Amino acid sequence: MEPEPWHKNAVVYALDVETFSDSDGNGVGDFRGLIDQLDYLNRLGVSALWLLPFYPTPNRDNGYDVKDYYGVDPRLGTLGDFVEFVHEADDRGIRVIVDLVVNHTSDQHPWFEQARSDPDSKYRDYYVWVEEPPPPDPERGTVFPGEVEDERVWTYDTSADAYYFHRFYPFQPDLNLANPAVREEIYKIMKFWLELGVDGFRIDAATLMIQPKHPDAERLDDPHELLRSLKRHVLAQEGDAILLAEADDAPDELASYFGDSDEMDLLMNFVLNAHTIAALAMEDAGPLVTGLDRLPEAGSGQWLTFLRNYDELNIGRLPASLREDVFERFAPEEGMRIYGRGIRRRIAPMLDGDQDRIELAYSLLFSLPGTPLVLYGDEIGMGDDLSRPGRTSVRTPMQWNDQPNAGFSSAPDADLVAPVVTTGDFGYERVNVAAQRSDPTSLLNWTQRLIATRRECPEIGNGTVEVIETDESSVFAHRCDWNERTVFCVHNLASESCTAHLAVDLARPDPISPTFGTSQLSPVEDGGCEIALDGYGYGWYRVDADQGD
Ligand code: GLC
């Protein structure tokens, strides 16, 4: 039997080097600090890291405004530190995925500087220019309403005497990807990082990369061909390196990103993210069943499933009334919301810091089809800082211990790249790695067990998923079948305990103890099974091949 590709059953951990661990006391996390923490990540059990952009940048959008694709931001270390980090990660069997931000550059990138100042420069055509901006298109406004003045996507540049296009902030001019020279640049950038040992790229803003930039813009004849060409270049150089796309697109558009097994390997699962959050908010399995139903087949590709990432939690595609209910429960105050579509809180505060409920949420996530993603700090239930602007509320430094600055940095507070969460239930004196390490009942130790169990259950990542009918609306039960092996998972989304009947025959008389969780699954005489679940109770069960039909 062919081994399954590694990304189908990975556990991915997302972190931003600048907020993870500062080794030299200048207030900014760095690669040497990250190297020092690799044993922590190894013990946690994650198999891949996704690093947010670490390239030289004016840093006006958390590094998503790149001014040099071939370097490391000097605040974070050197290219040598990066290479050492990749080797150290590799020694521990941890893969490294890096962000590739090529929908746009920073306006301080030398390409843009030449493009704007010299109409004859070859770089002029690296960007998208018009003399008069076309009328606004309500479907294609700024991605950041409320943060970009007049919602505009065209900005006048005096030296060019023309308007350039940007779907994000005005300091992020979109690249003209219809220009073959720009595509060649991207292949070169990928080659460079693959040669340094990275295992894949997260393709930032993949959806916007393949959209026409404006009504009269030069169009890619076959937009997905751009993404396929990225895959071909990766394959040619590094057989098992992967591409992960950020494609927050309508569900019926998503399957196309997997192509014919020749395009993206992983897609961030925004569909299931919004529906899982809705199910947790409403304590009702219904939205989750709907979400699974809407999810296209991934074929030989895979979903990257998550509860939270470092952007807003986008619930904009949920039906309006459900969206309002989710806002009401998880972001009741206006200051917790953003862009009219998102929540800017972390998971733990959304779930009132209730450890049972947080565990339920993560157990559920890890049982869903796909490869799970953990946002740094969620393994200890870190909180957010709503006094920080926009999406930065969830980007506070990692809380390592109860020492000053949470052990993140020895710099004076005023020099920190972002303030540490100091007060309230999620302040670092209460929530930190050191305290949780020594407590066997902590969320951290629980998460470590969850990750280990998930890595023992390839049925979830590789198998087919089927929802099991129950008589309790708060109970979500499903089975994952793969290679004649089956794992059943049952989750009670509600705070009330219940006894649920599951429409599944186990063909055996005795109860099954969970592989993970606490409740036993008991076959009942008239067919099906019964399970008594505590409030927010859950269980995963492995059954043999001849059972479970
Ligand atoms: C992606 C990133 C986001 C960034 C944007 C512009 O959506 O996830 O953080 O602001 O791209 O690069």
- Looking from the CA of residue 65, the nearest atom of ligand 1 is 12
CA of 192 to the centre of ligand 1 (A): 22
Q: Name residue, tokens 């990082």.
A: 193
* Sequence spans of domains, the chain: 6-106+178-455, 110-165, 460-543
Q: What are the mean pLDDT values of the chain's consecutive 10-residue runs (549 residues total)?
A: 86 98 98 98 98 98 98 98 98 98 98 97 96 88 90 95 97 96 98 98 97 75 92 93 96 95 97 98 98 94 97 97 98 97 98 98 97 98 98 98 98 97 97 98 98 96 95 97 94 98 87 91 90 97 65
Ligand 1 neighbourhood includes 244 CB (under 6 angstroms): no
Task: Give the span between the Cα atoms of 432 and 486, in whole angstroms.
Answer: 36
CA of 205 to the centre of ligand 1 (A): 7
Task: Give the span between the Cα atoms of 295 and 246, in whole angstroms.
Answer: 15
CA atoms 218, 221, 227, 232: torsion sign: negative
Ligand 1 neighbourhood includes 148 CB (under 6 angstroms): no
Give, for ligand 1, the residue of 59, 60, 61 to mutate: max count of ligand atoms closer than 8 Å to Cβ: 61
**Which CATH code for domain 110-165?**
3.90.400.10
Architecture of domain 6-106+178-455: Alpha-Beta Barrel (3.20)
**Which CATH code for domain 460-543?**
2.60.40.1180
Within 13 Å and on the Cβ side, how many CA atoms surround 130?
16
Q: Which residue is catalytic, options 30, 65, 73, 204?
A: 204
Ligand 1 neighbourhood includes 168 CB (under 6 angstroms): yes
Query: What pLDDT is recorded for position 109?
Result: 98
Among residues 198, 417, 217, 397, which one has the least CA distance to residue 310? Answer: 397
User: What element of type H or E holds 95?
Assistant: strand 95-100
- Looking from the CA of residue 311, the nearest atom of ligand 1 is 9
Query: What pLDDT is recorded for position 4?
Result: 84
Query: What pLDDT is recorded for position 218?
Result: 66
526: left (phi over 0), alpha (psi -120 to 50) or beta: alpha
Q: Is the pTM of this model over 0.85?
A: yes
Query: What pLDDT is recorded for position 387?
Result: 97
Query: What pLDDT is recorded for position 361?
Result: 98
- Looking from the CA of residue 104, the nearest atom of ligand 1 is 12
Residue 246 known to be catalytic: yes
Task: Give the span between the Cα atoms of 27 and 19, in whole angstroms.
Answer: 9
Give, for ligand 1, the residue of 204, 248, 394 to mutate: max count of ligand atoms closer than 8 Å to Cβ: 204
Task: Give the span between the Cα atoms of 320 and 316, in whole angstroms.
Answer: 8
Task: Give the span between the Cα atoms of 248 and 271, in whole angstroms.
Answer: 8
CA of 268 to the centre of ligand 1 (A): 13
Query: What pLDDT is recorded for position 469?
Result: 97
Task: Give the span between the Cα atoms of 101 and 53, in whole angstroms.
Answer: 8
